[in-house]
Amino acid sequence: MRRPSQMMRLLLTTFFGVIVGFLMGITFPTLTLTKMNLPSTLFPSIDLAYIEDKYSDISRQRLFGSWSATKGLKLKNDIPDPPYNYNDTKIWVPTNPRGAERLPPDIVTPESDFYLRRLWGDPNEDLTIKQRYLVTFTVGYDQRKNIDTVLKKFSDNFSIMLFHYDGRASEWEEFEWSKRAIHVSIRKQTKWWYAKRFLHPDIVAPYEYIFIWDEDLGVEHFDSEKYLAVVKKHGLEISQPGLEPYEGLTWEMTKKRDDTEVHKHAEERNGWCTDPNLPPCAAFVEIMAPVFSRKAWRCVWQMIQNDLVHGWGLDFAVRKCVQNAHEKIGVVDAQWIIHQGVPSLGNQGQPERGKQPWEGVRERCRREWTMFQDRLDDAEKAYFEASAHNNASSRPHG
């Protein structure tokens, strides 16, 4: 028989063996990934999804934490430990964009673009060309042939963006250029609704000029590069191609002339112009085919109202975004277009009280024009009244 002391020693040895084995077992997954000094280049090739399936009893959080910790390991002499804890740094940069004050300025990226990028390779090698200009159209599928014709007049220097008001974006794949275009599909909206939401100045900042055009324009006598050469030559901040005269043409200012390259003034009917340097006799383009410089668009975008979707009244107000507007806003006669007058967007309306869809759309346009003008007048009145009050308050009292 064994002595009691030997039996006690056997029991204690067995007990400690079980405890040590248990502790090693529960720490083994973390130990193998985090305590081994493996080359960090090994880990990008590890498929975490495979590991997660293989060891489904190990939590995703523990695995990812272990992989991240190991991926960040460097040889001891590569990079010295920072003299501070990143989580404890006190960064506050008031000149950063609002909301980004806690970030170091060099990491802040306040602007973006519409350049298409790959899902693989070196990001620095993604772009073989950076387009300098942007052209946008608000389109329905029925106008696809005309848009195809129009886009043949725009060079590879243009990014293309289509806003689809009929929800048929995927059907444009028949055109080769469509594969490099940006498509936004939201039913029954207007180009100014899209512009307010998708053409923020910080998003279109890389583009020198932004074309915001209707879908029913003929371009037989138009070339985009030649057009912009004239725009730059004359220093136009806001412009449009001249319109070939047609029945229903409203404004003399936008009518094409044969005797000049660009015009900036026009003679209108009696009583239409209270000042020869103000719209519609000057500082005026229509909203069907405007072209904005980057600087001008940053201001005009701010003026677009969220609920006034047709943009009526903007053409009379964009001059407020350009200094010496009667010299910096003009119509390019050397490159002209034809307004085909296809009432496609009007047909997206809804018949009400016995009225046709287009009639309701037209009534809304007129109502928005009045509302926009009232808002602009009220805003200017409030500003000048407040300025007068502040000036009076700042004067010394005798």
Which pLDDT band holds residue 22 (cuts at 50, 70, 90)? low
- Distance of alpha carbon 201 from the chain centroid: 7
What pLDDT, on the 0 to 100 scale, is given for residue 103? 96
Distance CA 267, CA 282 (A): 9
271 vs 195, 259, 275, 279, CA distance in Å? Answer: 33, 26, 10, 12
- Distance of alpha carbon 169 from the chain centroid: 18
Q: Which amino acid is at 22?
A: F
For the residues 185-212, what does the mean pLDDT come to?
Answer: 97
Instruction: Take residue 372 and report the two structure tokens written for it.
Output: 């926009």
What pLDDT, on the 0 to 100 scale, is given for residue 310? 95
126 vs 111, 177, 214, 255, 348, CA distance in Å? Answer: 18, 18, 31, 43, 39
Distance CA 57, CA 60 (A): 9
Compute the mean pLDDT over every residue in the chain, rounded to the nearest whole number. 85
Residue-wise pLDDT tens digits, 269-310: 888 898 999 999 999 999 999 999 999 999 999 999 999 999
| End-to-end Cα distance, the chain | 118
What pLDDT, on the 0 to 100 scale, is given for residue 351? 74
Residue-wise over 141-178: b if at least 16 C-beta within 10 A, else e? eebbebbeebbebbeebbbbbbbbbbeebeebeeeeeb
The yes-or-no verdict on residue 167 having pLDDT over 90 is: yes
Distance CA 153, CA 130 (A): 19
398 vs 362, 394, 395, CA distance in Å? Answer: 58, 12, 9
What pLDDT, on the 0 to 100 scale, is given for residue 164? 97
Residue-wise pLDDT tens digits, 331-361: 999 999 999 988 776 667 777 777 777 788 9
The yes-or-no verdict on residue 55 having pLDDT over 50 is: no
Q: SS3 of 371, please?
A: helix
What pLDDT, on the 0 to 100 scale, is given for residue 42? 41
Which pLDDT band holds residue 36 (cuts at 50, 70, 90)? very low
What pLDDT, on the 0 to 100 scale, is given for residue 20? 61
Which pLDDT band holds residue 27 (cuts at 50, 70, 90)? low
What pLDDT, on the 0 to 100 scale, is given for residue 79? 55
What pLDDT, on the 0 to 100 scale, is given for residue 83? 55
pTM of the model: 0.77
- CA triplet 377, 381, 387: central angle to 5 degrees? 150
What pLDDT, on the 0 to 100 scale, is given for residue 342? 85
What pLDDT, on the 0 to 100 scale, is given for residue 39? 45
Distance CA 339, CA 362 (A): 18
Residue-wise pLDDT tens digits, 106-153: 999 999 999 999 999 999 999 999 999 999 999 999 999 999 999 999
